[in-house]
Structure 1
Amino acid sequence: MFMRVLVVVLGVFCLGCTPRVVYKEVYIPTKCQIVRPARPSKDLEVLEYLRELLAYTEELEK
């Protein structure tokens, strides 16, 4: 009798611990068809290089 009660109690306890089905959104990465712009040449003067580099980074952010 004691074993039956113990088995039933443990069975109910184990059933209470089973995880419920949880659905989550999964994002799948896809490859972009974007062409990267050419990086400005380092042979330019400092101010001209910085101007071209800023334009390059703005183009990358788009």
Structure 2
Amino acid sequence: MKILFLSFSVLLSACSTKVVYKDVYIPVKCDITTPIKPKPTNDLITNIANAFTYSKLLEDALNFCANKNN
């Protein structure tokens, strides 16, 4: 029984050679107004341009929120 206890303690104590630190991201509340989603049209080029514009506006709003909380 002593050998079993000793072997488990040695086995479990040597799991890691060093302490590993990881970043933990905490969600924060940010009041932003989301841009209005563009309505789909029959023109593919217009749809793509509207989607890129919408994603840029959304990215700018979220970057403002992230920079405000740092």
Q: Could you state the TM-score of these two structures normalised by the residue count of structure 1?
A: 0.49
Which protein shows a greater Rg? Answer: 1
Q: Could you state the TM-score of these two structures normalised by the residue count of structure 2?
A: 0.44
